[in-house]
Chain A
Amino acid sequence: MNSQTPALEVKGLSVEFPTRKGVLTALSDVSLTVERGEILGVVGESGAGKSMTGMAVLGLLEPPGRIAAGEIRIGGQRTDNLSDAEMETVRGRMVGAIFQDPLTSLNPLFSVGQQLTETIRLHSDRNRAEARAHAIGLLKQVGIPGADERIDHYPHQFSGGMRQRVVIALALAGNPQLIIADEPTTALDVSIQAQITTLLRTLCREHGAGVMLVTHDMGVIAETADRVAVMYAGRVIEVGLVEEVLNKPKHPYTRGLMGSIPALGARVERLTQIDGAMPRLNAIPPGCAFNPRCSEAGARCREVRPALVANARGSVACLVHDGGVA
């Protein structure tokens, strides 16, 4: 493992759900890279496959979902073909996770310290006392005041924001090189959100861990992420530096997404929106999945599926930028 290998490399990942009515393709040819110490934001509407990608990386797809094609490498090591038992040694140690709701992420019947030391001892050779000392250290790092005392408290004795700090401490307990943060601030008050995103950012820099930050909140992306990947109907359609994608979006869908964020201070009668809705998984149109809603679509968009093509500033999957639509 050298510092050049990315924390996460996903190549051509497809996830399928076999159902009675046929196979649903939830993720189709998804490719992503998260460098060490980098925060990659993943945005999209509900059902675009953001969380699904995170769960696939963690090896926590709900059955009958399965990885049908592609490769996942964490810190250079391939993990998509590991058995359930082998994945248990990957989770926590190579990849940590932060979930949406801090109120339900912690087991209510075990103290915070018990859950921390359990995780620490799973992933290192520390004895009970050393693990406890390390746990207190972690709680201090995530900014919990009075960590020496708080360690023996139970989850219900913490506020939502404090609990999410504990969850972050738990995600860091195995010292992983990658963290999947699935909507980590969505369930929190706006005033707490900024604290948590800042904390996430600082700690990942310190620990040299890459973060895949799944969210639908453009504000969080703008404040926290280095690069951003936009997903639509189970595909990655645009990737680039945050300022590039937010200010100069290339894909018509990304443009629509940015356009629909209401500006502060401007009072308008109707909010801008993208007409139509994202297709259901069993009815994804041929060609570009966005073509029925796209104002720039041409005949070719209904036939050819655009590939993610790299350009000087990032990459985009749109025929407008790849040979024309007609």
Chain B
Amino acid sequence: MLAFLIKRIGNAVLVMLTVAFLAFLIFRFLGDPVEMMVNESATQVERDELRARLGLNDGFLVQYARFVTNAAQGEFGLSWRNQQSVIGLIAERFPATFELVLIATFLSLAIGIPLGVFTAIGRGRWWAEGLQFSSIVGVSLPSFLVGILLILIFSVTLGWLPGYGRGDVVRVGWWSTGLLTPSGRAAVVLPALSLSLFQITLVMRLVRAEMLETLRTDFIKFARARGVRRRALWFRHALKNCLMPVVTLTAMQVGNLIAFALVTETVFQWPGMGMLFMQAVTFVDIPVMAAYLCIVSFIFVTLNTLVDIAYAVIDPRLRNA
């Protein structure tokens, strides 16, 4: 198990170094940082001085090493747009995105898994086939359209839930959470639902397919033959054998959710990292973009590593791999 862990974590570090290299290339070679930072009347001497002070005359590898060292400590420099620390900007926005994605993931599992099990065991019944059919709608509707429809129905027409913003937030240390206030909780419902609709149907269809496969296996038949009750058969024996791909899908999708959140955050005016990134793109704010790249891929890589470890926990056969 220890060798397994070391191997996985080593892989993760390697991937992160590669991503950091790409981010560094963007940071260093897309436009001239000095041009962006000095004002128009600066003399050549001042420019050279700044260039030396920023270490831009050093060798390529030295600069890369410095970038990685700083990035590892969360130091991504100043935003070119408003001279604030990049990591500060991101830290301010991160909780909003994280909470949104967390709730969306929770919804997709809490709704998707039971629906998948029920559509599998009710195969051939009208309600199961109806659900399976309508799930195609969920897969094929783009998330911004779903968001707009949800706003139209639940906040404009019915007026039940807010259609934009994050509501009141409470600070817990550096973390700002909307989940502790009634208005914050109300505000997260629509964006989370819109973000998770696609995932719900994806999880449901995956679980259904896996369940149908698993229910045909010999060990399920044998479990029936030794008297295991249907409920335990479905939710214990069969479902556990379906969880591996669900775990993979979910972890991969959390990465996608963060990416999709870009759209959802824009539709719902949700003050998260996605919005920050959109603004950075508009103003060619390279340090923010580089930092966003590093942080999102850090989340991706961490999740992937956790998935590998989760595999080993679920499936005893992989523990020695």
Contact = CB atoms under 8 A, between A and B. Distances in A.
Interface of A is mostly: mixed
Given A88-B230, A156-B317, A107 B219 contact: yes
Contacts of A110: 237, 240
Contacts of B219: 104-108
Interface in A75-111: 84, 88-93, 96-97, 99, 101, 104-111
A88 B227 contact: yes
Contact of A99 (B221, B230, B241, B315): B221
Nearest to A170: B226
A99 B222 contact: yes
B317 A108 contact: yes
Contacts of A89: 227
Contact of A97 (B217, B225, B241): B225
Contacts of A156: 316-317
B223 interface: yes
B241 A109 contact: yes
Contact of B226 (A101, A109, A111, A171): A171
B314 interface: yes
Given A109-B314, A156-B317, A104 B218 contact: yes
Contacts of A170: 222, 226
A174 B221 contact: no
A101 B218 contact: yes
Contacts of A118: 228, 232
Interface in B199-253: 217-219, 221-230, 232, 237, 240-241
B183 to A, nearest CB: 44
A40 interface: no
B233 to A, nearest CB: 9
A60 B316 contact: no
B65 to A, nearest CB: 45
A60 B224 CA distance: 8
A237 B315 CA distance: 48
A231 interface: no
A122 B222 contact: no
A170 B225 CA distance: 10
B90 to A, nearest CB: 40
A180 B225 CA distance: 10
B226 A154 contact: no
Contacts of A96: 225-226
A37 to B, nearest CB: 21
Contacts of B237: 107, 110
Interface in A108-123: 108-111, 118-119, 122-123
A60 B221 contact: yes
Contact of A109 (B229, B232, B316): B316
Contact of A123 (B227, B230, B240): B227
Contacts of A60: 221, 224-225
A176 B222 CA distance: 15
Contacts of B228: 88, 92, 118-119, 122
Given A109-B240, A109-B314, A109-B316, A99 B226 contact: no
A105 B240 contact: no
**Residue from B222, B240, B316 with most neighbouring chain A CB atoms (10 Å):** B222
A264 B276 CA distance: 83
A108 B315 contact: yes
A297 interface: no
Contact of B225 (A91, A101, A107, A109): A91
B218 A105 contact: yes
B316 A105 contact: no
B226 A119 contact: yes
Nearest to B214: A107
**Residue from B225, B232, B314, B316 with most neighbouring chain A CB atoms (10 Å):** B225
A105 B227 contact: no
A179 to B, nearest CB: 10
Nearest to A101: B218
6 contacts: A91-B224, A104-B217, A106-B219, A118-B232, A119-B226, A122-B228
Interface of B: 217-219, 221-230, 232, 237, 240-241, 314-317
Given A90-B227, A91-B227, A110-B237, 6 more contacts: A88-B230, A106-B222, A109-B241, A119-B227, A122-B226, A156-B316
Interface of A: 58, 60, 84, 88-93, 96-97, 99, 101, 104-111, 118-119, 122-123, 154, 156, 167, 170-171, 173-174, 180
